[in-house]
Each structure stands twice: as C-alpha cells, then as structure tokens.
Structure 1
Amino acid sequence: MNETIRKVGIVGIGNVGKAAASTIVHENIADELYLSDIDSERAKGEAYDFEDSIELTQSRTRVIDVPLEGLAACDVILVAVTERSQIPSQSRLELLKGTAAITYDIVPRLKKAGFQGKYVIATNPCDIITYLFYKLSGLPKSHVIGTGTSLDSMRLRKQISKVVGGIDPRSINAFMVGEHGDSQIAAWSHVTIGGQPLDQFEEDNQDELGKIDRPSVEDTARHFGWEILTRKGNTQFGIGNELAFFAKSILNNAHIVTAASVVQDGEYGQTDLAIGVPIVLGKHGVEKIIKLRLNDQEQQGFNASAELIKGYIKQTLDEHEETTK
C-alpha cells in the first residue's frame, strides 16, 4: 500500500512556533512534525514535551527535532523565526534588520539542502520577509506565502460582528489588504453580511444599528495585535493557529479563500513585492490571486501601502549588497 506521509516543519520554536506546533499536533494535521531552532536543545525539549502530550489525544503525529537542513524533506515549512530580544515599540518594520539577517542565513541553506515545498511565513515584517524568501529560494511565487493580513482580516470580521448585533464573524466576508502593518486598509466596498452588501445591510437595519463607524472599526482591527502585545508581551495563539491553518489548507488541498501576503505580478497594478490580498489556497500553494475591484479611495490606500513595502524591500536589498561587497 502506498502511503503519503504529510510532513510539516517549523523553523523558530518560540511562542508562535510552539502555538503552531500545538495545533498541528492536537488536530492531527501532519503525520510528522519537524522542529528546528537555533537553540537545538530547546527544540529537542519541545519535541519531548509534545511526545508526552500526545498519549491522551487522538493524535498520532510524530514530533522530531532536527537541524535546519533536516526540514528540506517537508511538504510545508512554517517560518516563525525572530530575534528573541526584539519587541517592536511602534511598528513591525522595526524588526526588519534582525529578521532579514536571519532570512539571508536560513533560506540559502534550505535551498542547498533541496527544499522544494511551500513556505508559510509569519516572521515580521511579513511582506518584506516573504519577498526575500521568494527572491532567495528560487521557488515559484505560488510556493512562498506570508500570513500577511489573514489574521487582520479575521480581526476586521470580529469587529464588524460586534457592531452589527453579534452576527457570527464566519457569516461576514471582509478583508484587510495591503501591508501587514499600519498602512493596511479595509476593503469596505467588498464587505458582505450573509451575502448582502454592507451598504444594503446598513440601509435595511438603520433603525436598529444606525451607520457603522467604519474608520473606528478599521482602526481597531488594524491595531488589535498591539492591544495583545502591550498586555502580554507577545502574540502567539492567533498567529500560531493561522500558521497551522495554512499548513492544513495546503495539505488538504482545501481551495479555501483567505488573505495572504503573496508576490504580485501585475495584480492590483503592482509588481516586485509581496502584499496582502485575498487568495485561493490549495495543494499548489497560491492557486489563484483574487483581484478585488477596489474603489478609487481604497486603491489609493493600497498603492500607498505597496510603495511603503517597496521602499523597505529596496533598502534591505541595498544594505545586503553593500555588506557583501
């Protein structure tokens, strides 16, 4: 009998990596989960700990600690690396110098080891790091995926739910697009509730709800991660579950629609960057980029966000070229 063994790797076993690993193990998403960290003893300890946790569950996932090159045989590698001393005070962009240096180290090593699977990247600043992974890996752009505005879009749906009478967020279709950061925008022109356009929903329910304060809802969604970070010092469970969700969707060929940071080739009028937009996610990674027809105001905001990302990509590439002369 031919068996396909589903292999997922995680590089970076900090708070986010552990949260992703926990979901993968306890939801039985992969047959084998490989953990790699610059602190190899820490990775080994986490693998042992997960081993202890499995007996009381239905999971049969094997958890194995490996050196970085040991991830090359995986179908999907989840990237959750960061410099442990770094906690941004104002913007995820503050992390760039440290995480870019890590990226320039690990991607060539995995390429040399023969990795041909899919990368899913949560490392911040996500859009810039995703683009660096694409440039350094030699993989098709469909195989390099940042979590981008996926969690931000969930936060937007949750905030809309709160102001429209508690309708289940899963019945709300709404996306944050652009940078996974302060310049992202809500694509309000495409928000639907139960399939009904938001403008129509507001009109039909104006006596009960009045007019939704869209700037306030959008701003809350945009900065919700900071609400968590300032209270507990990190975010982990939301983004960890998001990483596991991406891995599951790829392994199961789910063809599910989600926001993600992906490399653009003319979509939305942009090239040579990765940025958050809705995609179809399946076994080939990015099966399709969904092109929303943004209104003029939204397109202007999206373009401004794209220019910000491009500026930091150029800065990073220039700095790396200067240091390698």
Structure 2
Amino acid sequence: MARTIGVIGIGHVGVTTSFNIVTKGLADTLVMIDTKPGWAEAERLDLQDSLGGLNTYTRIVANDYSLLRDADVVIFSGGDISVIKDGDRNSEIKTTKAAIDDAAPKLTAAGFHGVLIDISNPCDVAVTYWQEKLDLHRNQIIGTGTALDTYRMRRAVAEAMNVNVADVRGFNLGEHGESQFTAWSTVRVNNEPVKASPDFKEKDLAEAARLGGWQIFNAKHYTNFGIATIACEMALAVMSDAGRIFPCSSYDPQYGVSIGHPTMIGRAGVISNPPMHLTGDEVNQYAHSADTIKENLAKLHALD
C-alpha cells in the first residue's frame, strides 16, 4: 500500500518537515497544503527539484485535500508564529484556532481516517481542540508536546556532563509551554540516575532546558529543525507500527485534556500510556501543568 503523508501549513516548520519527508523517503506521496495563494505550489516545485539527487522518489502534490482520504498521517503546522509575544506560545491561540477551524471540515469532507499529529502552538490546547473538531478516536490525534522539551533537556545534560546525548534518557512532561518540567526521577545518564552524578545541578539544567527554545527564537524568530525531526519520527512510528514511546501530547483521562506524557505510538496512533512513577513534587507539577492547559483551552473556547 502506498504511504501518504499530508502537511498542512507550509511555513518554516511545515517546509522543513516536508523536506525531511522527501529526502528521507518516508512517503510515496506527500501532500502539501497552505492557504497562501501559490505558496504550496512553489514549495512543491522547489522540493521536486531535489528528487534527481535522491535515491528515493516521492510524488509531491499541492493543495489537494482529496488525496488525504487514505493518508497514513497528516501533520498540522498551521497558524502564525509571528504573533508570539513575550515568549508565550499561548499568544497563538487565536491564529491556531482559526487555522484548525479552516482545516478540520476539509479533512472531514475528504474522509481522512488516519493519525493527525499537531505541531502548532499551544500544542496541548490545539490537540484537545482537534479531538473536539474531528470525528476520530482521540487516540488518532496527538501532538509533538514535550518531545522537543525532552530533546532540549537531553542536550543540556549531555553538554553539562560531557556525554553523548544518545546516552541521556528521561522525560520532560506537562504543557509544551512555561509550565513544562523535567521529571528528574526519570533521567539517567550512562544508565545511572542523573541525581547520583556530582556534576548534577538541577536548577541550572532545568533552566537551560526550559529556555533552550527561546535562545533560538530570539535570534531566528522561529524554530524548525528539532520540531520537524520529531514530527517525522512520530510519523514514521505510526506508519511502521513501531510501538515507540514519545513524551508527546495525548489524552490523559485523569485530567480531561491532552498533555505531554509517555505515549506508545503505532499504526492506530496511541497504543498505550506507560505509567510514569513520578515523585510527589513531580505529580504536583504535572497537575499544575494540566490546569494551565485547561485555562488556556477555556480561552480558546471563549473565542467562539
């Protein structure tokens, strides 16, 4: 069966994601969709020019929702990052809601029944809203969530302790926003608890992980490589039925919202949510983050 991926919203993140899909040969067909006149077609042509130098071939199509009927994955990166103010991802609530309101009925009309992966901010609010808008099981709708925060934490720990980033394990959890936190009880370096290391400075490492994205954003006014890589890894986990665990945004029935926590991903989307075994303080931080998501979801609903 042909592998099809759709990318809705061809901004900095959407086009980087599309580039990764084509150059890594992740799909047989890539459908690129954007509301700006001529934009998706221009990026399609630019990407198509790369095909002659690749060992794989991808059919690339612009602005055809009908081809998403049998898509394995749709990656949503719509919205407008330029509206972010004072480092608050929730500044995008209005523009992201408008983008979802535009895309959701078109996906429904197309008969899309695959897995939707949201990148757009505020990610956890957007995922929860998507679950309200699409007639799909909520397990089919997930977001990149704190996977990127986790990557940033791992990079900070690896640099501070002079180890390979591949040998740092553990999770950042909660909202993909200011209330996210590193669950240090889950973090291991070279298979040893990070807290056992004499080089472990929790406050400094937590701050480095939390601010990692803003260091990039303040210079570039967007981030794209890390998040696009994660979106593609998640898409591949779906298409290959990998059963791989990501700290991504998925529904947590205890709190009634989607939030970043360990999630096993496969062909149907969410396969399961492994238990977290957090400390008491981490449980409180997670609950606070869930409350923050609920507050911002209420702000989105107030726009109706």
TM-score tier, shorter chain, comes to over 0.9
Alignment partner, residue 235 of structure 2: 247
Alpha-carbon distance, 1:192 to partner:
1.4
Question: Contact conserved, 2:82 with 2:221, CA < 8 A, in 1?
Answer: no
Superposition CA RMSD, Å: 1.4
Alignment partner, residue 293 of structure 2: 309
Question: Contact conserved, 1:20 with 1:240, CA < 8 A, in 2?
Answer: yes
Question: Contact conserved, 2:71 with 2:114, CA < 8 A, in 1?
Answer: yes
Tell whether 2:144 aligns with 1:147: yes
Alpha-carbon distance, 1:147 to partner:
0.2
After TM superposition, list the pairs within 5 Å mapping 1:106-145 onto structure 2.
106-145=103-142
Alpha-carbon distance, 1:220 to partner:
1.2
Point out where structure 1 has 5 or more consecutive residues left out of the alignment.
321-325
Alignment partner, residue 179 of structure 1: 175
After TM superposition, list the pairs within 5 Å mapping 1:87-106 onto structure 2.
87-106=84-103
Question: Contact conserved, 1:37 with 1:67, CA < 8 A, in 2?
Answer: no
Alignment partner, residue 17 of structure 1: 14
Count, aligned residues: 304
- If you compute each CA radius of gyration, which structure gives the higher value, 1 or 2? 1
Relative to the length of structure 2, the TM-score reads 0.96
Instruction: Choose which of 50, 55, 60 in structure 1 pairs with 2:52.
Output: 55
Alignment partner, residue 219 of structure 1: 207
Alpha-carbon distance, 1:85 to partner:
4.5
Question: Contact conserved, 2:238 with 2:268, CA < 8 A, in 1?
Answer: yes
After TM superposition, list the pairs within 5 Å mapping 1:150-161 onto structure 2.
150-161=147-158
Alignment partner, residue 293 of structure 1: 277
Alignment partner, residue 170 of structure 1: 166
After TM superposition, list the pairs within 5 Å mapping 1:19-98 onto structure 2.
19-83=16-80, 85-98=82-95
Q: Secondary structure at the match of 1:77?
A: strand
Alpha-carbon distance, 1:121 to partner:
0.4
Question: Contact conserved, 2:184 with 2:195, CA < 8 A, in 1?
Answer: no
1:267-291 CA distances to partner (integer Å, 9 max, x unpaired)? xxx2x21100011111121111122
Alpha-carbon distance, 1:306 to partner:
0.6
Alpha-carbon distance, 1:151 to partner:
0.8
Q: Following the alignment from structure 1 to structure 2, what is the Cα–Cα distance between the partners of residues 124 and 72?
A: 25
* 37-46 or 179-188, which deviates more: 37-46
Question: Contact conserved, 1:37 with 1:68, CA < 8 A, in 2?
Answer: no
Q: Following the alignment from structure 2 to structure 1, what is the Cα–Cα distance between the partners of residues 81 and 260?
A: 25
Alignment partner, residue 323 of structure 1: none
Alpha-carbon distance, 1:72 to partner:
3.1
Question: Contact conserved, 2:81 with 2:222, CA < 8 A, in 1?
Answer: no
Alpha-carbon distance, 1:109 to partner:
2.3
Alignment partner, residue 244 of structure 2: 256
Q: Secondary structure at the match of 1:82?
A: coil
Relative to the length of structure 1, the TM-score reads 0.90
Alignment partner, residue 199 of structure 1: 195
* 2:38 counterpart letter in structure 1: E
The alignment-based identity, stated in percent, is 29
* 1:142 counterpart letter in structure 2: N
Question: Contact conserved, 2:139 with 2:270, CA < 8 A, in 1?
Answer: yes
